[in-house]
């Protein structure tokens, strides 16, 4: 049975709830709009302004990195509120341009558990909307805001022609021939799909990118850095590795592998910064793995490598 005290308690709770609901209508935009920083808001407004002014619809927003891991759904919602339908991709720009599920190929997803659901949800929605033909990607504007929403080195060199501000890149629809994208530059310090053994990064003046991938250890250990890239079938490629060539001093030679098959063993020869070129033979089209590491684990190993460039041969 309900006594007077219980009835009084319920009545007060109902009155407080009604009062709070009325008050919250006034304060909704202040307290219930998902929070973003002023810098995020300014970047979003810049994206919205350009898309609106240039009448660019249904953009694909490319996200990657720690900040985007947390905020990509909110950022996308803000943009969509102003421009309508949007799509998103969480992962390397190169992988979007081949319409690859980002979960198996992006190293950051394994480090930040919250990013995996975003990546999977974004990719499922995008592939359902535009299909699996990668050329369909290029019928949409592609938006990359680096480094705020895409906090990785933009090693895809062709994107520089689409820079619209200090940090913002927008690729208009149909401005790229999807079949012409076969040259890829991979920043060694951030584009790896997996890495094993001791390593760090260093800012060298000779390096093209801000940081070089480095390692230096005694005999008895293995080191391998693996990069994933797309190769067209029926073509030979040149792999160019920009690196520091050290004094041999009994160091292990550098090994370069394609899909686990050794392509080249390079013995150091005190040449300083060099570009080491090796031919990648014709292989089946699709995603392939390039690995660099010590060819002789019984010897000490040293490595400083800046980038890997994959270019089809004439």
Are 173 and 195 in a shared domain?
no
Overall domain count for the chain = 2
Lowest mean pLDDT among 4-13, 67-76, 120-129, 133-142: 4-13
Query: Is residue 140 in a domain?
Result: yes
Q: Is 219 among the domain residues? A: yes
Residue 258: inside a domain: yes
Q: Under 8 Å CB-to-CB from 126, ≥6 apart: which residues?
A: 60, 87, 88, 89
Q: What angle do CA 60, 105, 297 make, to 5 degrees?
A: 150
Query: Angle CA(46)–CA(49)–CA(50) in degrees, nearest 5?
Result: 90
Tell me: do 164 and 88 sit in the same domain: yes
- pLDDT at 253 exceeding the cut of 90: yes
Model confidence at 58: pLDDT above 50:
yes
Banded pLDDT at 174 (limits 50, 70, 90): very high
Asked if residue 4 is part of any domain, the answer here is no
Task: Find, among 118, 54, 44, the residue nearest to 82 by Cα.
Answer: 44
For residues 73 and 161, state if they share a domain. yes
The residue range of the domain holding 254 is: 184-312
Nearest CA to 263 among 253, 273, 272, 271?
A: 253
Q: Largest alpha-carbon pair distance within the chain?
A: 93
Residues 214 and 287 in one domain: yes
**pLDDT tens digits, residue range 60-104?**
999 988 888 888 999 999 999 999 999 999 988 888 988 888 876
With cut-offs at 50, 70 and 90, classify the pLDDT of residue 152: confident
Q: Residue range 268-282: average pLDDT?
A: 94
**CA–CA separation, 299 vs 251, rounded Å?**
6
* Digit-coded pLDDT (tens) for 240-251: 999 999 998 889
CA 196 from centroid of its chain's CA atoms: 20
Residues β-bridged to residue 277: 240
Q: pTM of the entire structure? A: 0.78
pLDDT given for residue 178 in this prediction: 82
Q: How confident is the model at residue 203 (pLDDT cuts 50, 70, 90)?
A: very high
Mean pLDDT of the chain: 85
The answer for residues whose C-beta is within 8 angstroms of residue 5's C-beta and 6 or more apart is: none
Q: What whole-number distance in Å separates Cα of residue 256 and Cα of residue 194?
A: 15
6 located within any domain: no
Q: Which long-range contacts (CB under 8 A, 24 or more apart) does 152-155 make?
A: 152/64, 152/65, 152/92, 152/108, 152/187, 152/190, 152/191, 153/187, 153/189, 153/190, 153/191, 153/209, 153/210, 154/93, 155/184, 155/185, 155/186, 155/187, 155/190, 155/191, 155/209, 155/307
Query: Going by DSSP bridges, is the β-strand pair 60-63/142-145 parallel, antiparallel, or unpaired?
Result: parallel
Give dist(CA 190, CA 203) in Å, integer. 13
Last residue of a domain, one of 142, 165, 180: 180
Task: Kindly state whether residues 139 and 250 are assigned to the same domain.
Answer: no
Residues in the chain: 314
Q: Summarize the confidence of residues 147-165 as an average pLDDT.
A: 89
8 Å CB contact between 34 and 74: yes
Is the confidence at residue 218, as pLDDT, over 80? yes
* pLDDT higher than threshold 90 for residue 128: yes
The reply to whether 172 and 189 lie within a common domain is no
pLDDT at 286 (0 to 100): 83
Nearest Cα to 181, choosing from 122, 242, 137? Answer: 137
Shared domain for 278 and 293, answered yes or no, is yes
Helices (H) and strands (E) in the chain, counts: 6, 15
Same domain, yes or no, for 86 and 154?
A: yes
Residue 2, domain member (yes or no): no
Question: Which of 180, 212, 232 lies at the terminal end of a domain, its last residue?
Answer: 180
The span from the CA of 194 to the CA of 215, in Å, is: 15
Please indicate, yes or no, whether residues 129 and 169 belong to a single structural domain of this protein: yes
pLDDT band at 314 (very low <50, low <70, confident <90, very high): confident
Q: Which one has a higher pLDDT value, 100 or 172?
A: 172
Q: Of the residues 145, 180, 215, which one is the last residue of a structural domain?
A: 180
Helix, strand, or coil (residue 227): strand
Adjacent-strand bridge partners of 292: 225, 256
Q: What is the mean pLDDT of residues 186-201?
A: 91
Tell me, yes or no, whether 155 and 269 share the same domain: no
Are residues 175 and 70 located together in one domain of the fold?
yes
Q: Is there a domain that residue 236 lies in?
A: yes
Nearest partner of 76 among 106, 111, 118, 31, judged by Cα: 118
Q: Kindly state the average pLDDT of the residues 47-68.
A: 93
Encoded tokens for 179: 């079949």
- The confidence score (pLDDT) of residue 3 equals 53
Model pLDDT, residue 83: 94
CATH code of 206's domain: 2.60.120.260
63 and 142 assigned to the same domain: yes
């Amino acid at each position: 049975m309900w006594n007077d005290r219980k009835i009084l308690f319920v009545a007060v709770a109902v009155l407080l709830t009604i009062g709070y609901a009325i008050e919250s209508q006034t304060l909704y935009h202040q307290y219930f709009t998902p929070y973003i920083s002023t810098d995020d808001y300014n970047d979003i407004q810049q994206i919205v302004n350009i898309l609106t002014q240039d009448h660019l619809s249904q953009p694909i927003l490319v996200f990657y990195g720690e900040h985007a891991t947390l905020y990509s759904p909110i950022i996308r919602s803000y943009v969509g509120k102003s421009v309508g339908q949007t799509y998103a991709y969480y992962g390397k720009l190169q992988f979007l341009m081949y319409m690859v599920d980002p979960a198996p190929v992006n190293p950051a997803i394994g480090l930040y558990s919250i990013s995996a659901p975003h990546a999977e949800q974004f990719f499922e929605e995008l592939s359902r909307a535009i299909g699996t033909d990668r050329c369909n990607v290029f019928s949409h504007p592609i938006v990359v805001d680096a480094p705020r929403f895409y906090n990785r080195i933009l090693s895809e060199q062709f994107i520089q022609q689409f820079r619209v501000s200090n940090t913002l890149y927008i690729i208009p629809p149909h401005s790229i021939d999807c079949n012409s994208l076969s040259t890829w530059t991979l920043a060694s310090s951030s584009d790896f799909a997996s890495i094993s053994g001791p390593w760090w990064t260093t800012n060298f003046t000779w390096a093209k990118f801000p940081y070089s991938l480095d390692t230096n250890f005694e005999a008895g250990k293995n080191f391998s850095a693996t990069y994933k890239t797309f190769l067209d079938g029926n073509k030979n490629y040149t792999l160019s590795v920009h690196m520091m060539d050290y004094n041999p001093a009994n160091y292990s030679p550098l090994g370069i592998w394609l899909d686990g098959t050794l392509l080249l063993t390079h013995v150091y020869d005190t040449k300083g910064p060099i570009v080491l070129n090796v031919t990648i033979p014709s292989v089946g089209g699709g995603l392939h793995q390039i690995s660099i590491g010590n060819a002789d684990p019984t010897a000490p190993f040293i490595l400083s490598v800046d980038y890997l460039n994959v270019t089809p041969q004439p």
